[in-house]
Amino acid sequence: MSERSLGVVLPYWLDRPDSEALEIAEQARSHGFSRLWIGEMVTFDAFALATAIGLKSPGLDITIGPLAIGVRSPVALALGVSSVATLTGRSVDLALGASSPAIVTGWHDRDWTAAPTRMRETVEVVRGALDGERTDYAGKLVRTRGFRLRAPQPETKLTVAAFGPQMTRVAVQSADQLVLNLVSPGHVAAVRASIDAIADERGIAAPRLAVWVSAAVDPGPATHRQIAAQIAAYLKPPGYGEMFIDLGFGDLVASARAGASRAELAEAIAPELPAAVGAIGSASEVIASIESYFEAGADHVGIVPATAEDAAGRRVLGVLREVSAHGG
């Protein structure tokens, strides 16, 4: 059985100041967590922020991403990883995802289609580049020739964000780890079974399974609003919507797919929904919820601390510090 681990995810709550990311990183370090996930939204460039955190809060190993495969080239991704690792002297892993048409096409004017193929080809090129190989690749969507890193990073682990059968299969065949976000323990169990079945079919070792879990201890109304606003964005998309229907929230999914605004959806979300896909409640309930994700088959849980009423996640990270100290 793979060793389980617990890390911290920078949440980028839209109702919080940008600089809170640095404060959360320092809380993660001071509470003894060794792994920090640094994604990218509308605040900082992920590689720049990872370098700043690596220098300001030494001791944290970093996973950058998931970053959208349609936005940066494989060479840019490998160069970014090598830059952060060299400048900070820390272990740096990389997570990749398909993201969404709104971000890839709308923000960056890049092609979002054929994500599984692009993911497979991107992982192949990035892995070779990080190993120090000179690029020479002509795939269906990815092409590069003649680049070689001055500072290879062969120890870098690659994670793929997968929600759906096609991307899950790519992740099992190509990545060291698969990551899920905002899912129930039951969904984790189903994905774990799928990963193991695909790996067995291919005769390969199954990758690790990571899951990001929003967490809050004794949340008040502001915390509920913060988490509900995030969940509202996930009610409509295929896959997520069906998971929420299975959890008994079909009315919300129907409203989302009928065109209800994100604000309207967030207002309609009852506390039972965040609790179904997170670790929300008393200290003992939060710990039990995290444990349920491990029992469902997760190898790693990334804590996404709610901060509306818990500055920089200080309290929830303190509660979960004991889980981390005992193998979590």
DSSP string, 242-311: HHHHHTT-HHHHHHHHTT--HHHHHHH--THHHHHTEEEESHHHHHHHHHHHHHHT-SEEEEEE--SSSG
Say what the pLDDT of residue 56 is: 94
Helix, strand, or coil (residue 193) = helix
What are the Cα distances from residue 243, in Å, to 183, 257, 318?
8, 14, 31
Q: Which residues contact 93 (CB under 8 A, 6 or more apart)?
A: 61, 62, 63, 64, 156, 157, 158, 159
> Does some domain include residue 310?
no
> Does some domain include residue 216?
no
pLDDT digits (tens, 9 = 90+) for 149-190: 999 999 999 999 998 899 999 999 999 999 999 999 999 999
**What value does the mean pLDDT take over residues 27-50?**
95
Say what the pLDDT of residue 326 is: 53
> Does some domain include residue 83?
yes
pLDDT at 229 over 90: yes
> Does some domain include residue 93?
yes
How far apart CA 112 and CA 97 sit, in angstroms, is 11
How far apart CA 39 and CA 318 sit, in angstroms, is 22
CATH of the domain at 81: 3.20.20.30
pLDDT at 231 over 80: yes
Helix, strand, or coil (residue 192) = helix
How many structural domains are present in the chain?
A: 1
Helix, strand, or coil (residue 97) = strand
> Does some domain include residue 274?
no
**What value does the mean pLDDT take over residues 196-220?**
97
Q: What is the dihedral of CA 158, 99, 316, 297, to 10 degrees?
A: -50
> Does some domain include residue 230?
no
pLDDT at 212 over 60: yes
Helix-then-strand count for the chain, H and E = 14, 11
| Whether the predicted model's global pTM rises above the 0.85 cut | yes
> Does some domain include residue 221?
no
| Confidence band, pLDDT 50/70/90 cuts, at residue 102 | confident
pLDDT at 325 over 70: no
> Does some domain include residue 213?
no
Domain with 15, as residue range(s), is 5-202
